[in-house]
């Protein structure tokens, strides 16, 4: 791939609402379009506008004529100003066709042309989504980084008055270096009269929401089979969202709130209101709000229609199938829900993936349509001409308290299935001759106390320039500062004795809350559902004593801050192909700054748990000729690009199923390859500037 091709592809992520012929890359570059690419609005003035925007640029990239202009009628239902929802079946279908169109482009130049041609003719969010999926899946775009969604559509992530200040700063102060950072306020969605507001720092975190978008980008529910049918994607849908809930519930205990109540009754009022205040750049309106105690209703709108009774029917069918131990496919064949593949089948059928569900007609589209009903609660029959609320959009859904209620309902269905399986037995849990003798987690300072970790607020900044449409043309960087939870880096140390020959193990680290919000001790059966995966990695065990050390920053669930908020533009990109691929795929991953729950000012106790399992039972044989690891950092949540999920055990092992002992202490007492210790997390309520 030439640098120019790379540049052209990258520029199409910038200024998503501006016509494709305007300057990009801080006013330095312009795409030179064939005349036939101009939309009707500009066709008569094509020479004028192209001359105007090509003055003073450093680089003009000529765009090839298309061999054949695509027919875009399939996308007509979604106008340029509609909101695009991945939970909406019509929108999913449109996106699937567009992705296929992009994948079918015969070569890189034609793909660039196709993208440039379609960009101004399609809904901008639909375009950005399908474009990013295509780049992630085309062979010839392996080296192209996908710009983080928070930078393409900053309005979906930050309080909008900050964007106004950012534009103003950019138009008044020409020298990028002299611009002040625009401050994004904290806690702007509600006052402390609303208890749920205590969790706003988690729900409205930019890294959390961009991870969620990235996950759904890497694992689309529908579209070309080659893109959708990834190894264990249904199981990962369950597991990634289950882990989000474990983290959210634990975070609630830290803030003296009880666990999330499932939204099991779709006929009752929803006490939690939510007023997002963020602005959709597509139509320049704020996302609609939901008042407290809103009742859900059947949705009957031109863009979506679904009855609550239908969702209830699907729920009952899924639950009945779990009780029976099998599902039925569309030709009436019974497929057993066994302990290995059952969860994957259920994940695809409950989400639902229309491409992979064993029987879409019968089991329906439970989780997605729940999002739809909730997202239209404020205007179910379109009488007020309002679009969906934040629950309709994967970039914004996690901001809303009801997201966790709906997902708890969904998660409970999966947990019900898992609970029906027999408890793990000794041969599954044990690792003969391996004993974990000592474990600790410790901060870097030499005088630090073992097993006391620290959280605090940090002020960081991100460059939002790429997504600010219609700003000054030579705008340069626009930095916005925001405050988020952070944890001080720490190191795990484990002493392990191996009484046999040299072996390999998988080290699995979790933390579990010990008590609930009322200080009541949690039983193991409760703890296992709240167990937070911290890390997972293979370790070599030599005969005799071994000391294993692992940095918190190497976690297999998280990605570093810099990867969530990487600067945009060629100057910042890594040069090597491998590094670039990592740069791209690895936008998926839990934000490192939320790796630890907040804890409490006086300290909050957790169980730090480690298990070393037998790698010979965990190993996955990857198919030959798969490319080098594009990204192995957040594989627990995101898998590996173009590879099998790298752990043969069911996700969440050993906490995904019932355990043979009543308490964690008895479990670790019974199995020498496990150990636990008390871990204290101390929260310090101060804001530290990022160095
Ligand atoms: Cu990620 Cu409901 O699946 O939001």
Place of tokens 């969202």: 241
- Label residue 639 left, alpha or beta by phi (over 0 means left) and psi (-120 to 50 means alpha): left
3-state secondary structure of 59: strand
pLDDT per residue over 205-251, tens digit each? 988 998 999 899 889 998 899 899 999 999 999 999 999 999 999 99
How many degrees, rounded to 5, is the angle at CA 479 between CA 134 and CA 392?
45
| Chain mean position to CA 292 | 27
For 84-122, b where at least 16 C-beta lie within 10 A, e where not — what string? bbbbbbebbbbbbbbbebbbebeebbbbbbbbbbbbbeb
- DSSP-derived secondary structure for 547-605: EEEEEGGG-SSEE-HHHHTPPPSGGGS-SSHHHHHHHHHTT-SEEGGGSS---BTT-EE
Supply the residues annotated as catalytic.
351
Q: How far is CA 186 from CA 268, 277, 345, 481, 563, in A?
A: 32, 13, 41, 10, 22
Say yes or no to pLDDT of 85 above 80: yes
Q: How far is CA 191 from CA 160, 601, 646, in A?
A: 18, 21, 44
Q: What is the pLDDT of residue 473?
A: 46
From 238, 241, 372, give the residue whose CB has the most ligand 1 atoms within 8 Å, as the site to mutate: 241
Q: What is the pLDDT of residue 469?
A: 62
Residue 474 banded pLDDT, cuts 50, 70, 90: very low
Nearest ligand 1 atom, CA 397: 4
Lowest mean pLDDT among 39-48, 130-139, 178-187: 178-187
Task: Note whether 281 and 469 are within 8 A (CB).
Answer: yes
3-state secondary structure of 427: helix
Return the structure tokens found at 460.
């960081």
Task: Note whether 662 and 673 are within 8 A (CB).
Answer: no
* E strand segments, 429-502: 434-443, 452-463, 479-487, 490-498
Q: Please tell me the distance between residue 237's alpha carbon and the centre of ligand 1 in angstroms.
A: 8
Average pLDDT over residues 55-75: 91
pLDDT per residue over 601-641, tens digit each? 999 999 999 999 999 999 998 887 666 555 557 888 888 87
Task: Note whether 95 and 126 are within 8 A (CB).
Answer: yes
Task: Note whether 541 and 547 are within 8 A (CB).
Answer: no
Q: Please tell me the distance between residue 244's alpha carbon and the centre of ligand 1 in angstroms.
A: 10
Choice between 555 and 474, residue whose per-residue pLDDT is larger: 555
Of the ranges 184-188, 222-226, 237-241, 277-281, the best mean pLDDT one: 237-241
Provide the whole-model pTM: 0.93
Q: What is the mean pLDDT of the chain?
A: 90
The verdict on the CB of residue 405 being under 6 Å from ligand 1 is: no
User: What residues contact 196, with CB distance under 8 A and at least 6 apart?
Assistant: 190, 257, 272, 401
Cα distance from N-terminal residue to C-terminal residue, the chain: 37
Q: What is the pLDDT of residue 685?
A: 96
**Widest Cα–Cα separation across the chain:** 81
pLDDT per residue over 372-426, tens digit each? 999 999 999 999 999 999 999 999 999 999 999 999 999 999 999 999 999 999 9
3-state secondary structure of 478: coil
Q: Please tell me the distance between residue 538's alpha carbon and the centre of ligand 1 in angstroms.
A: 30
Say yes or no to pLDDT of 527 above 70: yes
**Angstrom distance (rounded) from CA 650 to CA 637:** 13
pLDDT per residue over 417-464, tens digit each? 999 999 999 999 999 999 999 999 999 988 899 999 999 999 988 777
Task: Note whether 530 and 655 are within 8 A (CB).
Answer: no
The verdict on the CB of residue 397 being under 6 Å from ligand 1 is: yes
pLDDT per residue over 643-653, tens digit each? 899 999 999 99
**Angstrom distance (rounded) from CA 450 to CA 193:** 38
Looking at ligand 1, which residue's alpha carbon is closest to its atom 4? 394
The verdict on the CB of residue 371 being under 6 Å from ligand 1 is: yes
The verdict on the CB of residue 398 being under 6 Å from ligand 1 is: no
Q: What is the pLDDT of residue 49?
A: 74
The verdict on the CB of residue 550 being under 6 Å from ligand 1 is: no
């Amino acid at each position: 791939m030439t640098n120019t091709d790379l540049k052209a592809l990258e520029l199409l992520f910038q200024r998503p609402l501006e016509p494709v012929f305007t300057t990009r890359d801080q006013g330095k570059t312009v795409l030179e379009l064939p005349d036939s690419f101009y939309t009707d609005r500009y066709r008569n003035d094509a020479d004028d506008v192209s001359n105007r925007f090509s003055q003073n640029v450093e680089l003009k990239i000529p765009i090839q004529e298309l061999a054949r202009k695509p027919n875009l009628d399939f996308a007509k239902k979604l106008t340029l100003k509609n909101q695009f929802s991945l939970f909406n079946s019509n929108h999913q279908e449109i996106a699937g066709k567009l992705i296929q169109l992009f994948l079918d482009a015969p070569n890189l130049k034609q793909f660039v042309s196709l993208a440039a041609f379609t960009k101004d003719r399609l809904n901008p969010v639909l375009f950005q989504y399908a474009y990013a999926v295509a780049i992630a899946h085309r062979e010839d775009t392996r080296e192209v980084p996908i710009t983080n969604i928070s930078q393409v559509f900053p309005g979906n992530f930050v309080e909008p008055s900050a964007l106004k200040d950012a534009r103003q700063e950019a138009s008044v102060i020409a020298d990028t270096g002299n611009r002040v950072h625009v401050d994004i306020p904290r806690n702007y969605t509600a006052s402390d009269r609303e208890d749920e507001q205590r969790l706003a720092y988690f729900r409205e975190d930019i890294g959390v929401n961009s991870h969620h978008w990235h996950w759904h980008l890497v694992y689309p529910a529908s579209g070309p089979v080659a893109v959708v049918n990834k190894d264990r994607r249904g199981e990962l849908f369950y597991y990634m969202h289950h882990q989000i809930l474990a983290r959210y519930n634990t975070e609630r205990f830290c803030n003296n709130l009880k666990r999330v109540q499932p939204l099991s009754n779709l006929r009752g009022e929803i006490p939690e209101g939510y007023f997002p205040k963020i602005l959709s750049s597509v139509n320049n309106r704020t996302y609609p709000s939901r008042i407290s105690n809103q009742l859900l209703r059947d949705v009957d709108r031109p863009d979506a229609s679904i009855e609550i009774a239908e969702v209830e029917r699907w729920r009952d069918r899924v639950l009945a199938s779990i009780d029976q131990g099998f599902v039925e496919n569309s030709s009436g064949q019974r497929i057993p829900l066994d302990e290995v593949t059952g969860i994957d089948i259920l994940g695809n059928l409950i989400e639902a993936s229309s491409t992979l569900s064993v029987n879409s007609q019968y089991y329906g589209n439970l989780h997605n349509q729940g999002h739809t009903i909730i997202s239209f609660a404020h205007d179910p029959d379109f009488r007020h001409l309002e679009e969906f609320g934040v629950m309709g959009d994967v970039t914004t859904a996690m901001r809303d308290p009801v997201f966790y209620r709906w997902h708890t309902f969904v998660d409970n269905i999966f947990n019900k299935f898992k609970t029906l399986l027999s408890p793990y037995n000794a041969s599954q849990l044990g690792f003969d001759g391996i004993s974990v003798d000592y474990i600790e987690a410790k901060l870097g300072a030499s005088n630090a106390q073992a097993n006391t970790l620290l959280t605090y607020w940090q002020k960081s900044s991100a460059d939002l320039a790429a997504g600010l449409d219609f700003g000054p043309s030579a705008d340069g960087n626009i930095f916005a500062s925001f405050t988020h939870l952070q944890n001080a880096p720490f190191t795990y140390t484990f002493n392990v004795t191996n009484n046999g020959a040299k072996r390999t193990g998988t080290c699995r680290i979790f933390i579990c809350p010990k008590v609930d919000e009322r200080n009541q001790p949690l039983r193991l059966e409760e703890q296992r559902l709240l167990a937070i995966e911290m890390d997972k990695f293979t370790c070599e065990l030599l005969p005799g004593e071994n000391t294993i050390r692992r940095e918190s920053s190497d976690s297999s669930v998280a990605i570093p801050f810099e990867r969530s908020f990487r600067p945009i533009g060629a100057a910042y990109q890594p040069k090597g192909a491998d590094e670039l691929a990592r740069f791209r795929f690895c936008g998926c991953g839990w934000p490192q700054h939320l790796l630890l729950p907040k804890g409490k000012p006086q300290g909050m106790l957790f169980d730090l748990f480690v298990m070393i399992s037998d790698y010979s039972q965990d190993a996955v044989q990857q198919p030959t000729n798969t490319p080098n690891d594009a990204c192995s950092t957040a594989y627990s949540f995101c898998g590996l690009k173009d590879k099998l999920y790298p752990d043969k055990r069911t996700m969440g092992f050993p906490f995904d199923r019932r355990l043979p002992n009543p308490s964690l202490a008895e479990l670790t007492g019974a199995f020498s390859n496990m150990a636990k210790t008390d871990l204290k997390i101390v929260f310090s309520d101060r804001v530290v500037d990022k160095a």
